[in-house]
Amino acid sequence: MARTKRGKPINGWIVVDKPAGITSAQVVARVKRALGASKVGHGGTLDPLATGVLPIACGEATKTVTYVMDGIKTYWFRVRWGEGRDTDDAEGAVIATSDHRPTREGILAALPSFVGEIEQVPPIFSAIKVDGQRAYDLARADKPVTLVARPVFVRSFELVEMPDVDHADFKAVCGKGTYVRSLARDLARAVGTHGHVVSLRRARVGPFSEERAIPLDKLESIVHTAPASDYLLSVATALDDIPALALTGAEAHRLSQGQPLAVTELAARVPLDTIGADATVRAMLDGRVVALARIEGGEVRSLRNMNL
């Protein structure tokens, strides 16, 4: 006998303004409980210290999480000079100190080397796996953790303000897998000192911005009285950067049954030349996403069907 899923079949995205002091998993659990939803996930972890945009996927939106996590992210953060910490943020233990404080000129001179495709070593307190175990689990158990540098992309890294000699505020726009804590740590070393992140706010993840974010406590209070349209965004919101491919009802049915569609059948009606070969598309029917599909070898094949 098949097990019945508990909870309501809610489909869409909620942009939560995460408060400091709790994990992303705890936010997911509270949203799931508040909505009574059967399936909930998130589009990119934020450390407990961090605040800001945490996209929450409900139902069929969980199938699009990868596209959100691959998106460009914007962070605002403050660095404390003179102290290196084992977590590279204010929650860790001090492991190194320095009396040196960088000048504005020194910081500005160092920033360009952290822009573009760079090599970055993640913090030892991170979710990176080492021999099948999370690095943070090994670090918490006082076991040696050796992480290798990985290529990441930083679109921009700006000095915003220097409120006092011990602190500086920054804005970074970066790609998947970039650790702000590592940026702070490595920048501090580049300017001749130690440093760690004392505050961090994520302002954007892909198509989701803080202007659309709802504080967690507010969301928990309005879900029982406000219409879903007040807080729930469509599944397709996460796919704004993916070309749309409009289908007829018959074509959508065939695609959902695992049957490929010949590109030649669609070419007369759909401008496939603007999409390109070997592209991922969102297959649409009457304004709703029916599948994530791939154009390859003259055919359109479904990657993930959407039950909307």
Q: Is 308 helix (H, G, I), strand (E, B) or coil?
A: coil
Query: In one letter, which amino acid is 119?
Result: E
Assess whether 47 carries a catalytic annotation. yes
Q: Could you tell me if 82 and 100 are in contact, meaning their C-beta atoms sit under 8 angstroms apart?
A: yes
- E strands, the chain, in order: 12-18, 40-42, 51-58, 73-81, 83-85, 94-97, 116-120, 129-130, 133-134, 150-164, 167-174, 195-205, 208-209, 214-215, 244-246, 261-262, 279-285, 288-296, 299-305
- Which of 17, 47, 89, 186 is catalytic? The answer is 47
Place of tokens 């309501």: 8
- Helix, strand or coil for residue 165? coil
Distance, CA of 52 to CA of 89 (rounded, Å): 17
Q: Could you give the CA distance from residue 31 to residue 41 in angstroms, rounded to a whole number? A: 10
Catalytically active residues are 47
